[in-house]
A and B are shown apart, each in its own frame.
Chain A
């Protein structure tokens, strides 16, 4: 019953469920990895454990017992192996999958299917998996069980997975070490497992023996998610969702059943093998289930038992055993572990950590509950499913199969979650115990994304309703402007703003808006209407100068209006007067965009122009480095060749008319060459300026020309530039003077414009802005690290200021072969609204396409010049901080020398007074800019959000992606002033506070050991973890300072969609590609264990596209893609796929093209073969896994978060 309830609950939350499913699927893919992971898994665990170790120890005690039991199962594992055989496959696959995906999927899929089914209803894609879920709770539990089993299996897997288990074993000894190993081994597998382990961490250690179980626990953890589903039921729907732990409770029953058994079993099995990883995972799961079941002290064990329990239910003991290892591996990583931790009173802390995972799971739970469990289940059931898994490994089917098996387990997992709940009560493990272990998986981004697609993608999003969160950025939807700006222009972190500062402070939820003022809209949405208020200019509030907008209240029969921002009453000018209707609206309300729309444009009058002069049309100046390196790597030739055609596509207002943007050309090495390309000349003339110390423009007339008039001369010039410098020996370059030159040219021409600088090397020639090579890796990680992000000379800051004053936007294309100090070179671009494009080790053969596409887009994209942005807000809040590529000379005006359609400004708001729930909070973003044909315009975006006096409302209406966007920008700016470690810590701390506040104020009372996440924020931990281990905040040894500075600057102007995919890359399983359908296959989670050896995956993060080819990829697939069936014949150096005459190849190319089209930068395709050297790079993007540079796996981190939260709560 409960299960059903939970399921229902889940169902309610289905969307989430869906996501879990999604996860499961990944899981399957993961499984393939698991195989690999096997080895990895263990390692993975250790790693995770390592972090958790502290807690782990505590857990260990508990878990160990139980765990150890399982360990013994170690033997079982063997059997498990068999059982796992399914898993085994799974393992093989599972190995990886177990870690993260497997649990979810396998278990979930099938088990969930049932449950899911319900849930799945909404989510077709998942159906399959869900298909299983329908079995839902039971299945879930089963799955959970299976999961646990799986977990146990993992340990067994150890055998089967030999490596994993082994690794686990070792790990068990030393988690930390193990962890690393695992990562190294098969990062995927390990990583996945690790997470779970992480969850379980605490337990793990104790459990090491138990670890395997722990893994199971993880599965449990997964369940937790499912549990979340339950929680939802329990807790306020939203809350409940949020708090997995709570959910778990609900689910707990199932979980507990499933879980406990699982754990125990798993423990038995797992313990030995998994100890490292498993133990921990188990703990979580076990904790959940076990703990509940187990005695308080042994809570861990109990948990394990709990975990075991699920397993038992699954009756997969044997499978478990065998399975456990694998599962553990797989599962542990998954939520399973997390959930358990809480349960484990002992493991309490770890559990807690697991809890968090659970919590995530909880998020998942709603829809995913099934899923998560399924994972766990999968893990548990894993064994059973394994077969399926194997078959499916890549696909969900397998998962389903597994799921079914697991289903029982799932119950477990769920219980697990409940357990988590209990765990907090851990001491009162009993409660936990009573509740089922929840093998649910941790919240799955994929599930969330898919749910959102399913729920919100079908109907247009209308902006008329205040306080309504828009669809996620990953969801394709149509926006209708009904008075508020479309989410394409503005996204807020919260759509219900706390009424007062205290609430805001308490919640710690950042109040911010991510504004993309000139965003391009899909073709089915109309661009902002142009409003002309005549010679007197736009009508504005007298006091705060807000522009006419729908928030202006007309009074006195329409003769005056009251400002919605400052409440000041202003006379309506006679020419603007209109009568009001009976509702107080102006009669012409719907005829006037400024009265009915959220976004529109005003024609600005001469009063809005610099120096009260109508601006000149802007100019583009191309400044090309012609030093030896630039010539040699082909850049010069390519640029010149491309410009010949590109100049026909300069931005223009009216497509029928030639652009009136003028162009100019400069080349340089350590001196500058200007070109006179006046139309009347037969040949261009070169003017060399070698006085770089005091830059000036040598000519005016003839430098900036109209393309159509001077075409012949320009072409001649572009033909000759590469020849002229073909034999150059000059290696030194300048940089400061180059920008100065462009700036001076614009000054001389008295216009705004954009510089395109193509630069190759560190500017060491004697000139202003000369730089030293200061690359010093030894500083990384020290307090001085921040200096590496700061410009080494102040020259560029001053220069940037001058550029902004002139409206000179600088775009920088760099082609470095070594350190070029991007941190310093980038100062001007990032202060002027420009972009940096970096092509390290540029080779024309491989990078030309990327560069050219970037260049084309950069030149063609719509943009405004010499812009000023001002954000006005209603009384009570105030825009206090701004992030992005711009310059501010005072505290309110964002000055953008250039503003293109990709540039985003993130604005943080703070209270300076109380807000009223009635009026809500209003903001108006006004951007004054010069259009590409020299018109001065004002673009207005209005946004109204609700105000709330209940924290729950805040948590119910926020957007994690946007919050992350804000956090990233905040953190990336903080690295300029603080050591990265502090930045990371404060990020974790703030998130913990957010979640703790939720837990404290919004979640229904439950054990402190439960991790309860707000539904809207359940992905916060996973995304935050991605941020924390990003190259900027936690670099690996192979990440150059330039790359970090580049990424830092890049991210600072990203919109939400870009930052989302950047931090959580999209991983598409191509083997599931339906050639007939227009839709893309459902993505899988970014974890190695989700990768199937037999599959081919496409990964994109906005900067790169990887095509990962599994070592055992189906020959048909290879044939379709590469035209060869031999894995070994695939050339990893290829940058584009062969054009083959088969539907698959065509469709794949289409997909790649469409993915590229979505991003502002062209993504170079890299083919990564499994077990190839390049795979290391690829693995870097599997962000749920533990990373090489010490970044935690998802599961580990979730555990850690949980711990933090618990600390805050206690």
Chain B
């Protein structure tokens, strides 16, 4: 039965949900023994062109601590006009507007195909989107110019009614007033002095004398007079801002020899967040930080301005030799939380050859749903196109972004929610369905996701409540409801409700069913997220050991083997790929810091914990395509044996797109055969991977690094570092094969890994 495959696919298409198990064990003990927790990947804003939002309010369960939304799983008494909540079993009467319902006249939310439904609701006046640019001016002239152009260009991409603001920083921080005619006016702040939000608002003149007395409450968000100076509708200040950006100068303060420019990123962000906090709390807003280097002064400083002291490396961090790390991280965390509370997200666009302090600043984006884009220069297509893509539009011509989301999870009584991993913060909402056992961001049933895209995916982890001696009765279904409220990019408030249900199964009697309901892709990603989440706070080796142990336990649980006979070990099809994912995950930059800077690690992890399943899998195990004269392009093993002289390889690691020309192909290309009419086919061969790459580039966010290299080229390292080192300098001649390329590494190959795994799995001592 391709059933589970189909079922999984169908569910994903409809609800944006991938569960680790599609049958749920009926007791907590059994759930624990399954190793991979009952969990799911949920993409709240999964694009559903076929799902028109309904224009009315959802019907809620009347029980105060339930408030579940009417859904297809509810039992409905059409005659009595009563429905029973499937979570708390409260019986509710329909609101008057549902008077006309009957079996044949059901509202959408009762139809099974609308297990995911979106409501458009009226909640206060619509508030325009807000984009606050925070621009580093300590850039090279070329970079700054490119950045200015990108920013100017972006103005045309913004919704015309969106409010836009500009803060520039270098040694000082300037908040630009956009409404003034004639003289360009800006408020300037010292880059070294930390200011309280209240001070910032006072200094910006945002405090109204009358309201300032109100117990420090933030100002009414629609105080147009106060805020309009800094945040103006794009359509009104388009010209102004374009000019302003055009006149933007590099930071005028001289940078002495041997020093880094003084960059007040910390204060700039604090002011940006303070500004929004004071003017538009709880309104969708993006703070977009464009920085070309690490913060070098003031709070949030990552490295001193002495060039002779390099920015911290993993080595320094492990040796506890990173002076500013903790302080800066704490500072940015505080900022992030403030921003998150107010529903503002922070993007970081960091383009520099060296690190820019993403490690310290990552929480800004991670906690607020912002983007992190890392590049070498603003003057690269990587940045330019990525930035452009931030403002891409969907099939409806609407921006692929949403703001101020809150995700609430409701579970049926047998389940509790342990936590979530993704670009969210806890709202600390304790409900009956909150588990004490935290996984990821737990202790709550509500999370705030300040900024969402259709790809934003959260991993949700659950716990089965029932004890082993009182398992869930068979035949029942566990249900989970996800209620996501958010501000659509067209400023509508919307609520998307997804309700899923899975059957309970007794793990002892129905272990085969449970095994076959295993979604190894989702599980790999869910486990990877757990691993990455742990890696943020734990030492790398510990995480790897934990992952290994989980894998071994899983293999022991589901593998078929004779004790102590590794060769007898077998895994069913539903688990067959899982060890391989784990092998690549162990080698991935998400868990390995070797050869990665702290910034890079943070960057990779940032994206890993928010992308949907497909992208996540690519990140874990890059895809390799091979192009040759011998047939159509085909996916090949991510293995060194796939590297052949007469092939062109296209590798997609999500972050990089590598086109690798085999030795022979490279020679041909160098000889210029592709220019000759008689070798048109060669030209086509060369072109094919380029076209495919373009296709990927078109859709990927952020734009991957695009690498076109060949055998022996320096950039071939991108490929060589990813492939399974089945052939190394150690075993090359032992294998005696001529195909493939040896990888100069001491890393173990998949083969070795699997051998060990089998050995450990079957070991009776384990």
Interfacial chain A residues near B177, Cβ < 8 Å: 688
| Cβ of A536 under 8 Å from chain B | no
Closest chain B residue to A685, Cβ basis: B184
Closest chain B residue to A672, Cβ basis: B188
Closest chain B residue to A674, Cβ basis: B188
Known A685-B184, A690-B204; contact A699-B252, beta-carbon cutoff 8 A: yes
> Are the C-beta atoms of A690 and B174 separated by less than 8 Å?
no
B172 contacts which of A684, A685, A690, A698 (Cβ < 8 Å)? A698
Closest chain A residue to B187, Cβ basis: A688
Interfacial chain B residues near A723, Cβ < 8 Å: 182
A743 to chain B, nearest CB (A): 15
Closest chain A residue to B193, Cβ basis: A694
| Cβ of B195 under 8 Å from chain A | yes
A906 to chain B, nearest CB (A): 42
User: In the complex, which range does the number of interface residues on chain A fall in?
Assistant: 20 to 34
> Are the C-beta atoms of B252 and A687 separated by less than 8 Å?
no
Contact with A along B248-273 (1 / 0, CB 8 A): 01001110000000000000000000
Interfacial chain A residues near B204, Cβ < 8 Å: 690
Contact with B along A671-705 (1 / 0, CB 8 A): 10111001001111111111100101011111000
Contact with A along B227-245 (1 / 0, CB 8 A): 0000000000000000000
B64 to chain A, nearest CB (A): 47
Closest chain B residue to A692, Cβ basis: B203
> Are the C-beta atoms of A687 and B186 separated by less than 8 Å?
yes
Interfacial chain A residues near B205, Cβ < 8 Å: 671, 690
> Are the C-beta atoms of B183 and A720 separated by less than 8 Å?
yes
Compute how far the CA of A380 lies from the CA of B174 in the bound complex, rounded to whole angstroms. 82
> Are the C-beta atoms of A687 and B190 separated by less than 8 Å?
no
> Are the C-beta atoms of B252 and A701 separated by less than 8 Å?
yes
A-facing residues in B188-234 (Cβ within 8 Å): 188-190, 193, 195, 199, 202-205
A-facing residues in B731-762 (Cβ within 8 Å): none
| Cβ of B185 under 8 Å from chain A | yes
Known A690-B202, A690-B203; contact A696-B172, beta-carbon cutoff 8 A: yes
> Are the C-beta atoms of B188 and A687 separated by less than 8 Å?
yes
| Cβ of A724 under 8 Å from chain B | yes
Compute how far the CA of A1034 lies from the CA of B189 in the bound complex, rounded to whole angstroms. 48
Known A690-B204, A690-B205; contact A700-B254, beta-carbon cutoff 8 A: yes
A691 contacts which of B180, B182, B193 (Cβ < 8 Å)? B193
A533 to chain B, nearest CB (A): 35
Known A699-B172, A701-B252; contact A691-B190, beta-carbon cutoff 8 A: yes
Closest chain B residue to A702, Cβ basis: B252
| Cβ of B50 under 8 Å from chain A | no
Compute how far the CA of A671 lies from the CA of B186 in the bound complex, rounded to whole angstroms. 12
A-facing residues in B674-733 (Cβ within 8 Å): none
B212 to chain A, nearest CB (A): 13
> Are the C-beta atoms of B183 and A687 separated by less than 8 Å?
no
| Cβ of A108 under 8 Å from chain B | no
| Cβ of A717 under 8 Å from chain B | yes
| Cβ of B247 under 8 Å from chain A | yes
Known A682-B247, A724-B182; contact A687-B174, beta-carbon cutoff 8 A: yes
A518 to chain B, nearest CB (A): 33
Interfacial chain B residues near A685, Cβ < 8 Å: 183-186, 247
> Are the C-beta atoms of B183 and A717 separated by less than 8 Å?
yes
> Are the C-beta atoms of B184 and A683 separated by less than 8 Å?
yes
Compute how far the CA of A688 lies from the CA of B174 in the bound complex, rounded to whole angstroms. 8
Interfacial chain A residues near B186, Cβ < 8 Å: 685-688
Known A682-B247, A688-B187, A688-B188; contact A698-B193, beta-carbon cutoff 8 A: no
Specify which of A674, A678, A694, A698 lies most central, judged by the most chain B CB atoms within 10 Å of its CB: A698
B244 to chain A, nearest CB (A): 9
B-facing residues in A684-740 (Cβ within 8 Å): 684-691, 694, 696, 698-702, 717, 720, 723-724
Interfacial chain A residues near B193, Cβ < 8 Å: 691, 694
> Are the C-beta atoms of B189 and A691 separated by less than 8 Å?
yes
Closest chain B residue to A719, Cβ basis: B182
> Are the C-beta atoms of A696 and B182 separated by less than 8 Å?
no
Compute how far the CA of A353 lies from the CA of B199 in the bound complex, rounded to whole angstroms. 68
Interfacial chain B residues near A689, Cβ < 8 Å: 187-189
Interfacial chain B residues near A724, Cβ < 8 Å: 182-183
Interfacial chain A residues near B187, Cβ < 8 Å: 687-690
Closest chain A residue to B247, Cβ basis: A681
B190 contacts which of A671, A678, A683, A696 (Cβ < 8 Å)? A696
Compute how far the CA of A550 lies from the CA of B32 in the bound complex, rounded to whole angstroms. 105
B-facing residues in A294-313 (Cβ within 8 Å): none
Compute how far the CA of A687 lies from the CA of B193 in the bound complex, rounded to whole angstroms. 17
> Are the C-beta atoms of A688 and B185 separated by less than 8 Å?
yes
Known A683-B182, A696-B190, A724-B182; contact A691-B172, beta-carbon cutoff 8 A: no
Interfacial chain B residues near A700, Cβ < 8 Å: 252-254
Interfacial chain B residues near A678, Cβ < 8 Å: 249
Contact with B along A238-274 (1 / 0, CB 8 A): 0000000000000000000000000000000000000
A90 to chain B, nearest CB (A): 68
Interfacial chain B residues near A691, Cβ < 8 Å: 189-190, 193, 195, 199, 203
Specify which of A674, A682, A690 lies most central, judged by the most chain B CB atoms within 10 Å of its CB: A690
A494 to chain B, nearest CB (A): 55
B208 to chain A, nearest CB (A): 13
> Are the C-beta atoms of B174 and A698 separated by less than 8 Å?
yes
Interfacial chain B residues near A681, Cβ < 8 Å: 247
Compute how far the CA of A673 lies from the CA of B203 in the bound complex, rounded to whole angstroms. 12
B425 to chain A, nearest CB (A): 30
Compute how far the CA of A285 lies from the CA of B254 in the bound complex, rounded to whole angstroms. 80
Compute how far the CA of A142 lies from the CA of B148 in the bound complex, rounded to whole angstroms. 97
A290 to chain B, nearest CB (A): 77
A-facing residues in B82-106 (Cβ within 8 Å): none
Compute how far the CA of A684 lies from the CA of B180 in the bound complex, rounded to whole angstroms. 12
A721 to chain B, nearest CB (A): 8
Compute how far the CA of A773 lies from the CA of B186 in the bound complex, rounded to whole angstroms. 33
Closest chain B residue to A673, Cβ basis: B185
A698 contacts which of B182, B188, B199, B203 (Cβ < 8 Å)? B188
Closest chain A residue to B250, Cβ basis: A701
Interfacial chain A residues near B185, Cβ < 8 Å: 673, 685-688
Compute how far the CA of A369 lies from the CA of B202 in the bound complex, rounded to whole angstroms. 74
Contact with A along B68-93 (1 / 0, CB 8 A): 00000000000000000000000000
Compute how far the CA of A683 lies from the CA of B183 in the bound complex, rounded to whole angstroms. 6
Compute how far the CA of A691 lies from the CA of B187 in the bound complex, rounded to whole angstroms. 9
A1194 to chain B, nearest CB (A): 58
A680 to chain B, nearest CB (A): 8
B169 to chain A, nearest CB (A): 11
B274 to chain A, nearest CB (A): 13
B417 to chain A, nearest CB (A): 45
Interfacial chain B residues near A675, Cβ < 8 Å: 183
Closest chain A residue to B189, Cβ basis: A691
B183 contacts which of A684, A698, A702 (Cβ < 8 Å)? A684
Specify which of B177, B184, B193 lies most central, judged by the most chain A CB atoms within 10 Å of its CB: B184
Contact with B along A869-889 (1 / 0, CB 8 A): 000000000000000000000
B-facing residues in A150-173 (Cβ within 8 Å): none
A-facing residues in B459-500 (Cβ within 8 Å): none
Interfacial chain A residues near B202, Cβ < 8 Å: 690
Interfacial chain A residues near B195, Cβ < 8 Å: 691
Closest chain B residue to A687, Cβ basis: B188
Interfacial chain B residues near A694, Cβ < 8 Å: 190, 193
With A683-B182, A683-B184 given, can you name 17 additional A-B contacts, CB distance below 8 Å?
Answer: A675-B183, A678-B249, A681-B247, A684-B183, A684-B184, A686-B180, A686-B183, A688-B177, A688-B185, A690-B203, A694-B190, A698-B174, A700-B253, A701-B249, A702-B249, A724-B182, A724-B183
* 24 A-B interface contacts by CB (under 8 A): A671-B203, A674-B188, A675-B183, A682-B247, A684-B183, A684-B184, A685-B183, A685-B186, A686-B184, A687-B187, A689-B189, A690-B187, A690-B205, A691-B190, A691-B199, A694-B193, A696-B172, A698-B174, A699-B172, A699-B252, A700-B252, A717-B183, A720-B183, A724-B182
Give the interface of B toward A (CB within 8 A).
172, 174, 177, 180, 182-190, 193, 195, 199, 202-205, 247, 249, 252-254
